[in-house]
């Protein structure tokens, strides 16, 4: 199965602490890296992750709060210093380019690559990016600023060749791709072997959804239905539910309720408020509602 | 003796590494903190230092390369979230406000305090700030962008009262400040005790100079003469002297030569290039020229 991983670079909330960096993740799918949110210090976290900088070509920003995008100028500057030449594509709400462009123009003039901004409509769901491996959809969240979540849907992969059948029938190498793509095989003796006898089915395409920052929005369950991994912010504990409502954030139990409603496979909680010395309470509250919950931490890599 | 300390928050150069953060220091003098340079991630480093955020009211930026100022928006945002009300004064080259203001206006609108920019002339030496404890002078450095160093000169302190004399003569509490400020005392019997008999002299005022980023400028020795602590960038080793010249940085030996020429008391080297896995070579090269050299590292606190 090809690589599909989520690397947590930062899972704190607006106030960074010595335990947590501001929001940033990297989705590693096949040969590419896709960054989601880009909090301050992300370039250092990316270095710590040992992921290859050059594999990163697309960055998806959820909303324009500083803890989700202040790492962008430093990241772009460093890429310029490293002599990167591939363009960098940045997706986010309309004002992102307006606020970042002057800074990038000033500090990264003469950079050997371009930063290309793509405006994401924060009011409707829709595909914002597609390549041969993945389709990325944005969908509206509900926060104090216009905000979207991102859903990464792996493209279907080809089925696996049954090596023993290939060898037994002496099928030549050049025919393999055709068989993988749906073809059968006729032997020299005229016996036809249909596709299904020559392959085992591909794994079902996998999916990852990222929801931060948002209040609890039950209707989101339809968008998130059945994803393999759901990251949902869990800024507060139940004891601080009033604060969550006031700031348009979610509690750990609300994150878990969303996971349950949407029947996802696994839940990853993060975006922890600085007020919790030990986020164990958040994990406990989430697990009480949805057992298959993981707690984010810097450096965590979740394989999907 | 009152507190006069330099806290190193970051001593890497443009490419941050897992060993070093970009440039930032805090000078702690009596009750106040003064920040010098403000690289990305500085708010997290400041938190690690356990220095009280509210004591920081003045930030001095040397030049407009990202690794010296990208931490400013995050720092200001966090101060706003923490409900700070005291204005923040930021000193730096002319374009600093132009590039930072749009970002601060966008992300920190409604902040309970103001950020007030003060333009520093990068072409001449001069006092840029003064309070009852310190006088801060900026002086031109020579780098690829207009750049200044900063010199912190402690204001003279008052002499120390000789407690035994005060007790012996029964001098009342209300008279102490007058004596500290230069007055004498006449006893009820009419005997006059001059100032000098009642006090021991104050410690000589101390000084700290910060020189980053710059090529080696021998004429700087006059500006830096006799400072108690000199921070001088030492980006490269002698083996990379050509690269130092090309990028307008200094070698460790050049930093030490400056310390020697200026007859400073101690030298602190930093702004290390990412290419050195072990900066011991830089310390060794500096010490060969100027023995009293310290090597910066994140978290280091040097008492002056």
Average pLDDT score over residue span A279-301: 97
Q: Kindly report, residue by residue over A110-164, the tens digit of the pLDDT.
A: 899 999 999 999 999 999 999 999 999 999 999 999 999 999 999 998 899 999 9
The predicted model gives B167-177 an average pLDDT of 91
Distance from the A241 Cα atom to the nearest Cα atom in chain B, whole angstroms: 19
CATH number of the structural domain spanning residue B137? 3.60.15.10
Cβ of B66 and A74 within 8 Å?
yes
Residues A26 and A170 both lie in one domain:
no
User: CA A220, CA A141: separation in Å to the nearest integer?
Assistant: 8
Contact B17 A67 (CB under 8 A): no
Query: What 3-state class would DSSP assign to A91?
Result: strand
Q: What is the mean pLDDT of residues B83-106?
A: 95
Give the model's confidence band at B185: pLDDT under 50 very low, under 70 low, under 90 confident, else very high: very high
- Mean of pLDDT values over B251-264: 98
* pLDDT of B281 higher than 90: yes
Report yes or no: A71 at the B interface, CB cutoff 8 Å.
Answer: yes
Which residues does A3 contact at the CB level (< 8 Å), separation at least 6? A28, A29, A30, A303
For residue B116, the cross-strand partners are B89
pLDDT of B109: 86
Check whether residue A178 and residue A75 sit in a common domain: no
pLDDT at B1: 77
With CA atoms as reference, the chain A residue closest to B95 would be A106
Q: Do B251 and B290 form a contact (C-beta atoms < 8 A)?
A: no
> Is B99 near chain A, with CB under 8 Å?
yes
Q: Which of A15, A77, A106 sits opposite B81 (nearest CB)?
A: A15
A213 half-sphere exposure, CB direction, 13 A CA radius: 27
Per-residue pLDDT at A247: 96
Is A64 in contact with B107 (Cβ distance < 8 A)?
yes
Average per-residue pLDDT for chain A: 95
β-strands A24-29, A4-10 pairing: antiparallel
Q: Per-residue pLDDT for B89 more than 90?
A: yes
Q: Residues for chain B: how many in total?
A: 304
* Residue B21 contacts A where some CB pair is shorter than 8 Å: yes
pLDDT mean over B1-18: 92
Same domain, B79 and B207: yes
**pLDDT grade, residue B54 (50/70/90)?**
very high
With a cut of 90, say whether residue B13 has pLDDT above it. yes
Query: Three-state secondary structure along B87-109?
Result: CEEEEECCHHHHHHHHHHHHHCC
DSSP state of B236: B
Output the CA torsion sign for A177, A182, A185, A190.
negative
Looking up tokens 């790492």 gives A71
Same domain, A116 and A84: yes
In B, which residues are within 8 Å of A71 by CB distance? 40
> Which positions ≥6 away from A155 have C-beta within 8 Å?
A132, A133, A134, A135, A205
Q: Is the CB of residue A212 less than 8 Å from the CB of residue A62?
A: yes
Nearest-by-Cβ selection for A78 from B15, B21, B47: B15
Instruction: Summarize the confidence of residues A17-46 as an average pLDDT.
Output: 95
Q: Enumerate the residues of chain B whose CB falls inside 8 A of the CB of residue A213.
A: none
CA B268 – CA A276 distance, rounded (Å):
38
Range B75-86 average pLDDT: 94
Q: How far apart are CA B103 and CA B43, in angstroms?
A: 17
Q: Is the pLDDT of residue A10 over 80?
A: yes
Mean pLDDT of A30-43: 96
- What's A180-246 look like in SS3? HCCCCEECCCCCEECHHHHEECCCCCCEEEEECCCCCCCCHHHHHCCCCEEEEECCECHHHHHHHHH
Q: A138 to chain B nearest CA, in Å?
A: 23
* CB-CB contact of A90 with A57 (8 Å): no
| B63 Cα to chain A: minimum distance (Å) | 11
List Cα–Cα distances, A140 to A69, A248, B152, B254, in angstroms.
Answer: 18, 14, 51, 56
Instruction: Give dist(CA A16, CA B202) in Å, integer.
Output: 42
Please tell me the distance from the alpha carbon of residue A206 to that of residue A186, in angstroms, as a whole number: 33
Would you say residue B2 has pLDDT above 90?
A: no
Q: Which of A265, A186, A195, A184 is nearest to A231 (CA)?
A: A265
Do A133 and A225 belong to one domain? yes
Stated pTM of the model: 0.92
Q: Tell which residue, A81, A281, A114, A24, has the closest CA to residue B15.
A: A81
Question: Per 3-state DSSP, what percentage of chain B is helix, strand, and coil (rounded to 5)?
Answer: 30, 30, 40
Across the beta sheet with A126-130, the strand order is A126-130, A134-140, A148-154, A207-211, A229-233, A266-270, A293-295
A197-231 pLDDT per residue, tens: 999 999 999 999 999 999 999 999 999 999 999 99
CB count, 10 Å around CB of A214? 26
B35 vs chain A: nearest CA distance in angstroms? 19
What percent of chain B is predicted at pLDDT more than 90? 93
**Closest by alpha carbon to A268, among A298, A234, A243?**
A234
Instruction: Using the predicted structure, report yes or no on whether residue B299 has a pLDDT greater than 90.
Output: yes
Q: Which domain holds residue B226?
A: 4-157+203-303
The answer to whether residues A138 and A120 touch, using CB atoms and an 8 Å cutoff, is yes
pLDDT band for A1, please (50, 70, 90 cuts).
confident
**Predicted pLDDT of residue A86:** 96
The answer to whether residues B98 and B244 belong to one domain is: yes
Region class of B137: left (phi > 0), else alpha (psi between -120 and 50), else beta:
beta
pLDDT at site B200 = 94
Distances (CA, A) of A260 to A191, A217, A245, A267: 50, 13, 20, 9
* Mean pLDDT within B2-23: 93
pLDDT at B16: 80
Nearest Cα residue to A252 out of A284, A212, A213: A284
Same domain? For B8 and B31 the reply is yes
Is B81 in the A-facing interface, judged by CB distances under 8 Å? yes
Is residue B77 less than 8 Å (CB to CB) from chain A? yes
Chain A interface includes B145 (CB < 8 A): no
Compute the distance between CA of residue B69 and CA of residue B62 in angstroms, rounded to an integer: 9
Q: What percent of chain A has pLDDT over 70?
A: 100
Contact A102 B102 (CB under 8 A): yes
For the record, the structure tokens of B153 come out as 């000169």
Q: Looking only at Cα atoms, what is the longest distance across chain A?
A: 75
Q: Is the peptide bond before A213 cis (omega within 30 degrees of 0)?
A: yes
Model confidence pLDDT, tens digit, residues A236-251 = 999 999 999 999 999 9
**Least CB-CB distance to A40: which of B15, B41, B103?**
B41
One domain for residues B107 and B254: yes
Query: Could you report the per-residue pLDDT of A240-285, keeping only the tens digit for each?
Result: 999 999 999 999 999 999 999 999 999 999 999 999 988 999 999 9
- Taking an 8 Å cut-off on Cβ atoms, the answer to whether A40 and B74 are in contact is yes
Number of structural domains (chain B) is: 2
Active site residue A67: yes
Please state, in angstroms and rounded to a whole number, the distance separating the CA atoms of residues A9 and A50.
11
Nearest CA in chain A to B72: A70
Compare CB distances from A77 to B44, B66, B108 and report the shortest one's residue.
Answer: B66
Task: Tell me which of A67, A114, A167, A278 is the catalytic residue.
Answer: A67
Helix (H, G, I), strand (E, B) or coil at B184: coil
Contacts of A298 in chain B (CB under 8 A): none
Q: What angle do CA A278, A279, A283 make, to 5 degrees?
A: 140
For residues A71-95, average pLDDT: 96
Work out the pLDDT band at A109, boundaries 50, 70, 90. Answer: confident
Please check whether residue B150 is in contact with residue B120, taking contact to mean a CB–CB distance below 8 angstroms: no
Q: CA angle at residue A17 from A14 to A21, to 5 degrees? A: 65
pLDDT at B247: 96
Residues of A in contact with B40 (CB under 8 A): 40-41, 43-44, 71, 73-74
| B109 and B175 both lie in a single domain | no
Domain boundary among A200, A220, A251: A200
Residues B132 and B168 in one domain: no
pLDDT tens by residue, A188-199: 899 999 999 999
> Mean pLDDT, to the nearest integer, of B182-188?
92
Q: Do B77 and A66 touch (CB under 8 A)?
A: yes
Give the span between the Cα atoms of B161 and B159, in whole angstroms: 7
pLDDT at B99 over 80: yes
- Both tokens of A118, joined, read 């793509």
Name the pLDDT band for A2 (thresholds 50, 70, 90): confident
- Tell me: do B173 and B150 sit in the same domain: no
* Beta-bridge mates of residue B36: B25, B60
- Using DSSP's 3-state secondary structure scheme, residue B138 falls into strand
> Do A238 and A174 share a structural domain?
no
Is A65 in the B-facing interface, judged by CB distances under 8 Å? Answer: yes
Task: Tell me the average pLDDT of chain B.
Answer: 95
Q: Residue B302 has what pLDDT?
A: 98
């Amino acid at each position: 199965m090809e690589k599909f991983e989520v690397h947590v670079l930062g899972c704190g909330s607006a106030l960074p602490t010595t335990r947590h960096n501001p929001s940033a993740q990297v989705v590693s799918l096949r040969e590419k890296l896709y960054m989601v949110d880009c909090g301050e210090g992300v370039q250092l976290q990316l270095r710590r992750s040992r992921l290859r900088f050059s594999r990163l070509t697309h960055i998806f920003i959820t909303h324009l709060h500083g803890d989700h995008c202040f790492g962008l100028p430093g990241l772009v500057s460093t890429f310029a210093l490293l002599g990167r030449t591939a363009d960098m594509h940045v997706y986010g709400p309309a004002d992102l380019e307006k606020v970042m462009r002057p800074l990038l123009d000033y500090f990264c003039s003469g950079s050997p690559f371009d930063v290309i901004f793509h405006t994401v409509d924060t009011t409707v769901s829709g595909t914002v990016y597609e390549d041969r491996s993945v389709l990325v959809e944005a969908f509206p969240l509900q926060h104090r600023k216009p905000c979207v979540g991102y859903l990464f849907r792996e493209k279907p992969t080809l089925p696996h060749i049954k090596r023993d059948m290939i060898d037994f029938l002496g099928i030549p190498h050049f025919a393999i791709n055709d068989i993988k793509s749906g073809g059968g095989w006729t032997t020299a003796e005229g016996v036809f072997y249909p596709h299904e006898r020559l392959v085992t089915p591909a794994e079902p395409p996998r999916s990852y959804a990222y929801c931060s920052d948002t209040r609890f929005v039950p209707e989101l369950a339809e968008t998130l239905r059945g994803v393999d991994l759901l990251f949902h912010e869990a800024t507060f504990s139940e004891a601080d539910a009033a604060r969550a409502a006031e700031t348009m954030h979610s509690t750990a139990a609300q994150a878990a309720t969303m996971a349950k409603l949407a029947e996802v496979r696994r839940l990853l909680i993060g975006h922890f408020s600085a007020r919790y010395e030990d986020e164990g309470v958040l994990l406990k509250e989430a697990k009480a509602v949805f057992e298959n919950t993981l707690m984010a931490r810097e450096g965590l890599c979740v394989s999907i």
